[in-house]
Amino acid sequence: MSQPHTRFSRRALLAKLALGTAILAGAPLALFQLQHRIRVENVTIPPDAEPGTPCLRLAQLSDLHVANGSDVRQLDRAVEMTNTLQPDAIVLTGDYIWRAAEHMELATPLLARLKAPLGVFAVLGNHDLWVGRDEVNQGLEEAGIRILTNEGLLLERGHASVYLAGLDDGWSGMPDLDQALADHDGDRPVVLLYHEPDLGHDMVAEGRVWVQLSGHTHGGQVRVPGHGPLILPEFGRQYEQGLYPVGPGWIYVNRGLGTTMLPLRFNSSPEITLLDIHPPRPETRAG
């Protein structure tokens, strides 16, 4: 399941971003500044869940890409906002750093402030592996965050319960769904944390995973009206942003907090996702 370690063409990415910047050059500076305001996306899964049915409330953060003081300030705001939402659990779907392993030291104290009754859980992304898997793991552990690398656990609140699983990065790691589901009793639906959205398609389509939560794409980061995203990364071109029905399940793609290549967003705001997960009754589940 693992993929070869390849990187984006920096020249091609910069060329596309330069084109997008030229297209948007007429937009006022204030409009670009607004694009960096964090937006809370409220999502219900399934969307037609009946009000009052048991649910788990999860907050999702992704793609922090911490590299400088501006990123630290953005993460500080995101942590405060996330805690204010009072979720049952918080999940992080990878790419905490971008350029250097030592930048994890900037993120760790802030991530340590994340609090939820059922805990904070994380998986790693491609940039974490490319820059410093060990440093990222150490930082997350020091922050009191449980790393789910091909493992899972029961997550339960009242009458709502799911099996929360996490996979190693699909681009450059060694993801193993069988290992992640080793402790699954087969009854509760699986909610999977997996950085790259496209790589989980078959798992969801086949019914092994009910809900997959991913990041990776930044929603394109720059989306030109009438054109769409200028850039989408490998393994993030089928599922760009938001909620998608896939077979009997769902894939949700968070736009992330940070940026790559250029500190520029347009029509793709940084995101915190607040998910109300309504597990189906056993008799309504596929398989």
CATH number of the domain bearing residue 264: 3.60.21.10
Percent of the chain with pLDDT over 90: 72
Q: Is the pLDDT of residue 190 over 50?
A: yes
Task: For residue 116, give its domain range.
Answer: 45-279
Provide the number of structural domains found in the chain: 1
Q: Is the pLDDT of residue 87 over 80?
A: yes
**Residue 11 DSSP class:** H
Find out whether 104 and 139 touch, Cβ atoms under 8 Å. Answer: yes
Q: Please report whether residue 25 resides in a domain.
A: no
Choose between 132 and 287: higher pLDDT: 132
Q: Which of the residue ranges 20-34, 87-101, 235-249, 251-265 would you say has the lowest mean pLDDT?
A: 20-34
39 vs 2, residue with greater confidence: 39
The answer to whether 71 and 65 are in contact (CB under 8 A) is: yes
In a domain, 147, yes or no: yes
- pLDDT over 90 (residue 58): yes
Residues 93-116, mean pLDDT to the nearest whole number = 97
**Residues ≥6 apart with Cβ < 8 Å to 266:** 20, 24, 27, 32, 35, 221, 222, 223, 224
Tokens of 234: 């490998």
- Give pLDDT, residue 281: 74
In this prediction, residue 35 has a pLDDT band, given cuts at 50, 70 and 90, of: low
CB atoms inside a 10 Å sphere around CB 95: 29
For residue 191, the SS3 value is: strand
Task: Please state the rounded mean pLDDT for residues 76-91.
Answer: 98
Would you say residue 20 lies in a domain? Answer: no
Which tops the pLDDT comparison, 163 or 233?
163
Integer Cα distance of 105 and 123 in angstroms:
18
Whether pLDDT at 6 is above 70: no
Structural domain includes residue 284? no
- Does some domain include residue 187? yes
Is the residue at 113 inside a domain? yes
* C-alpha of 73 from chain center: 19
Average pLDDT, the chain: 89
* Cis, peptide link before residue 263, omega less than 30° from 0: no
Residue 99 lies in a domain: yes
Give the DSSP per-residue string, 142-154: HTTPEE-SSEEEE
Q: Is the pLDDT assigned to residue 30 strictly greater than 50?
A: no
pLDDT at 18 exceeding the cut of 90? no
Is 260 inside a domain boundary?
yes
